[in-house]
A and B are shown apart, each in its own frame.
Chain A
Amino acid sequence: MQTIEIEALQETALQSIAAASSSKELEQVRIAVLGKKGSLTQVLRSMGSVPQEERASLGASVNTARVQLEEALELRASELKALEQSAAIKAESVDVTLPGRSQPIGSEHLISRLTREIVEVFRGIGYRVVEGPEVETEYYNFTALNAPADHPSRSQQDTFYVHDRSGTESRVFGESEVLLRPQTSPAQVRVMENDELPIYILAPGRVYRRDTADPSHLPQFTQIEGLVVDKGISFAHLKGTLEYFCKEIFGPERKTRFRPHFFPFTEPSAEVDVSCGICGGSGCRFCGGTGWLEILGCGMVDPNVFGFVDINPEEYSGFAFGMGVERIACLKYDVPDLRMLLEGDMRFLRQF
């Protein structure tokens, strides 16, 4: 074997390397030259038969050839790899505008979502959430809330009554001492009876009123009521709290106004309006031309109520408020028909 032959071998190998069109072909070229039975390896193996005096120079030539071939292989390998990668990338390219694989994520009911948002606003200013039974006694729902015995709201036109299985009869036909709560305030009475002062609570929950379901009425809906009992609580605190709430839920640009009203549970009492979000307060069809939307009722806890739960009104004062979540949902989302909230229509539910 002569140096010249090695050079020829190297030349052929370099050509093969250059001609290899894939990593796989290149590997075959490598094996053919540098593998165990490769042509150059064979040369090295046959060194023993090379005369002593030629061995050094031949050895050097072989080594040089090997180094150069390895370099060439490496270079070509990286070239091919890059080519192959880009080919692979090209082959795998997709239409990125096609939809992704669907993940079945569910939605929260609009009323739950709003309830949670409202609860979070109040949790942020130190309120906790309490719950109570939906079927209540007349005592917790009316009497302890200072509703006179013959208050019209007790009428069976307005309140659902259920059969009292304890055997007690009511003085008015068709009424009983057990009823579906038309408000969540009885839960507040239970808290005032049982819990330590001060009290900062929110009572969300399902309530019932004897209205036939139509686009703007439901016989069952969701109410959130709040109660604060502490030392030194004033009407100014009630205003501040509800103004904060309205800005958080409806937006900082919205205004509120308090209109005096009457509720047996509170005194002084007020209804709260928030400025119309559609017309900004100038009056439109949405707000009936008044520029205002009624959203809640509130007031200072009536001292008589404190009397029922043994809180000293000389020491403590408080305020209470209540709002209908469905009404707020209508104001925020303009839901055209409240009955949609109870139909379970997937096309409706999945919008929220």
Chain B
Amino acid sequence: MNKLLKILYNCRKATFMIEKRMVKPLTVQENLELRMHLVTCGVCRLYIQQSRKIDLMVKQILNSTPPANIRLDEDFKEELKVRIDNELNKS
């Protein structure tokens, strides 16, 4: 397989470069390879859209107020209170 065909077929490498490109500029060589790949590969073009969307969603979740329905075990909280009171009484 010649070098060009290799690039056109290599979705593994293409998705790798896609991830990298979302954060920092690729080298000239990488950029050229990725663009050639994407011309013929609709699957990887779709991957780009979905990957961007996933990043956005993960960021939204991590930077939002944590869900109020997640609660710490009540017994553990009671133990924690005792522990904190003990520490405070020490000093």
Instruction: Say if A and B assemble together.
Output: no
